[in-house]
């Protein structure tokens, strides 16, 4: 009999134009001064800042230029406390949303990020609710608006602050915010979303709800990502593409929050901590090799494992052809990476000499625990080497 838990934000709002609801949602939470965490370009958030001012909510803008570190979050928390912020809004990609969630939880308690950070920190449980946090994604990849963790870089790896208390109070997913994204961003973020659907679908922690979300997200992401990269996401003709990618990202976030991930993200976290490599592109490079290695290992050591049947189903979901199986899924993922122009890991300085260290780091990563079975060091090395 199935037995599982689900952790989701209490208020998830999806649909075109719903970003207009953010100011009233913020005011309804009693927030009067919010830290507005944005991506590199603060100009994209100016309409929201003006709308917040119209309902008497003051803003303190914090741009996030790259993937966040412990030091960056530590400084952001100090600033939020010094400025008397009583709420936090994340408006941007995954990095902005992760910073917003981390600031919200830490500003309320005054704790240091390392007090709670997994793997490289002290890993203490988060026990106190944070400031009200509202998450508004402007890319379609991480699903961070509905996850209970925030990924930070420390000591050459990426690790998470993690707790159900980190779920945003309100998540507003407006597909129209994807209009005008550069094709490179669409490719990287869309690849991350696919990985966050594939890995929970095969995870040892998968459940009927995450399976249903993964199936629908995979269908939508598979049919729309290439067209979105080649044709762009602007204009009414791209309405369906924007909706598909936004839903794939949202569903991927819900899946990973409740079913975990696997070796793709276990390895990607270590690569991202040691090399200046975009997370989505790293995941895209690793995904096909990881699925292939997992299928071979399952067939050899656990032929009755449910993930093996799901890997066969994955071929049908990605290709749209019910006769396809696991080898077709691997081939489709390899072809997608090529079509999107996503480079291998060597582009970012990773060489054969780094493989052993990446394998060792991936074995310690929390994401790796969700893999359908434990891979050997040789198998993990095969995944990395194939992604070079």
Q: What percent of the chain has pLDDT over 70?
A: 100
Q: Computed over its alpha carbons, how large is the radius of gyration of the chain? A: 20
List, in order, residues 6 or more apart from 95 with CB less than 8 Å away: 39, 64, 66, 67, 68
Instruction: Over range 296-322, report the average pLDDT.
Output: 96
Alpha helices in the chain (DSSP H): 22-28, 46-54, 70-82, 94-109, 113-116, 183-202, 208-231, 239-259, 263-274, 279-301, 306-319, 326-340, 355-364, 377-387
Domain 12-177 matching CATH 2.120.10.30: the answer reads no
State how far the Cα of 262 lies from the Cα of 379, in Å rounded to an integer: 13
User: Is 105:132 a contact under the CB 8 Å cutoff?
Assistant: no
State how far the Cα of 129 lies from the Cα of 167, in Å rounded to an integer: 10
Instruction: Over range 365-377, report the average pLDDT.
Output: 95
pLDDT in tens, 16-25: 999 999 999 9
Instruction: Over range 298-321, report the average pLDDT.
Output: 96
Instruction: Over range 308-321, report the average pLDDT.
Output: 96
Which DSSP category does 375 fall into? P
Per-residue model confidence (pLDDT) at position 156? 77
State how far the Cα of 201 lies from the Cα of 114, in Å rounded to an integer: 31
What pTM did the predictor assign? 0.95
- Sign of the alpha-carbon torsion through 25, 29, 35, 38: negative
Which of 155-164, 182-191, 281-290 is least confident? 155-164
- In this predicted structure, the answer to whether residue 157 has a pLDDT above a threshold of 80 is no
Per-residue model confidence (pLDDT) at position 120? 85
When the pLDDT of each residue in the chain is averaged and rounded to a whole number, the result is: 95
Q: Of 187, 176, 174, which is closest to residue 231 (Cα–Cα)? A: 187
**Distance between start and end Cα atoms, the chain:** 42
- Sign of the alpha-carbon torsion through 96, 102, 106, 108: positive
Q: Encode burial over 71-87: b for 16+ CB neighbours within 10 A, e otherwise.
A: ebbbebbeebeeeebbb
Domain 183-387 matching CATH 1.20.1090.10: the answer reads yes
- In this predicted structure, the answer to whether residue 1 has a pLDDT above a threshold of 70 is no
Per-residue model confidence (pLDDT) at position 56? 96
State how far the Cα of 140 lies from the Cα of 192, in Å rounded to an integer: 9
pLDDT in tens, 126-139: 999 999 999 999 99
Higher pLDDT among residues 309 and 159, named by residue: 309
Which tokens is 359 given? Answer: 């394998």
Domains of the chain, residue spans: 12-177, 183-387
Which tokens is 44 given? Answer: 């994209």
In angstroms, how far apart are the furthest CA atoms of the chain? 62
State how far the Cα of 220 lies from the Cα of 214, in Å rounded to an integer: 10
Instruction: Over range 352-369, report the average pLDDT.
Output: 95
Nearest-5° Cα angle at 122, 144 to 163: 30
Per-residue model confidence (pLDDT) at position 373? 96
Q: How many CB atoms lie within 10 A of CB 337?
A: 21
State how far the Cα of 233 lies from the Cα of 271, in Å rounded to an integer: 29
Q: What percent of the chain has pLDDT over 90?
A: 90
Q: Of 94, 197, 82, 214, which is closest to residue 152 (Cα–Cα)? A: 94
Instruction: Over range 345-357, report the average pLDDT.
Output: 96
């Amino acid at each position: 009999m199935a037995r599982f838990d689900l952790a989701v934000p209490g208020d998830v709002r999806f649909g075109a134009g719903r970003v207009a609801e953010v100011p009233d949602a913020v005011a309804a939470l009693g927030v009067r001064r919010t830290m507005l965490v944005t991506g590199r370009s603060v100009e994209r958030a100016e309409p929201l800042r003006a709308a917040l001012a119209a309902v008497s909510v003051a803003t303190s803008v914090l741009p996030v230029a790259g993937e966040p570190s412990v030091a960056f979050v530590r400084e952001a928390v100090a600033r939020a406390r010094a400025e008397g912020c009583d709420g936090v809004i994340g408006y941007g990609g995954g990095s902005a949303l992760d910073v917003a969630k981390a600031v919200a939880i830490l500003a309320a308690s005054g704790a240091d990020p390392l007090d709670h950070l997994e793997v490289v920190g002290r890993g203490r449980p988060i026990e106190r609710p944070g400031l009200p946090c509202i998450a508004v994604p402007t890319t379609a990849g991480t699903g961070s608006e509905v996850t209970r963790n925030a990924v930070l870089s420390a000591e050459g790896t990426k690790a998470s602050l993690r707790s159900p208390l980190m779920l945003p109070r309100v998540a507003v997913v407006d597909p129209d915010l994807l209009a005008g994204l550069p094709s490179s961003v669409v490719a990287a973020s869309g690849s991350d979303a696919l990985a966050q659907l594939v890995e929970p679908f095969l995870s040892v922690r998968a459940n009927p709800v995450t399976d249903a979300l993964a199936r629908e997200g995979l269908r939508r992401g598979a049919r729309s990502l290439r067209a979105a990269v080649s044709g762009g996401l602007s204009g009414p003709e791209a309405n369906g593409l924007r909706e598909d990618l936004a839903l794939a990202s949202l569903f991927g976030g819900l899946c990973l929050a409740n079913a975990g991930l696997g070796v793709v993200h276990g390895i990607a976290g270590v690569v991202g901590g040691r090399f200046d490599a975009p997370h989505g592109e790293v995941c895209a490079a690793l995904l096909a090799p990881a699925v292939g290695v997992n299928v071979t290992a399952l067939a050899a050591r656990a032929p009755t494992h449910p993930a093996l049947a799901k890997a066969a189903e994955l071929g049908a979901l990605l290709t749209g052809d019910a006769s396809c199986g696991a080898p077709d899924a691997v081939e489709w993922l390899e072809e997608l990476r090529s079509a999107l122009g996503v480079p291998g890991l060597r582009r970012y300085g990773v060489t054969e000499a780094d493989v052993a260290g990446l394998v060792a780091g991936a074995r310690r990563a929390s994401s790796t625990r969700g893999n359908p079975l434990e891979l050997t060091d040789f198998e993990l090395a095969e995944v990395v080497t194939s992604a070079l």
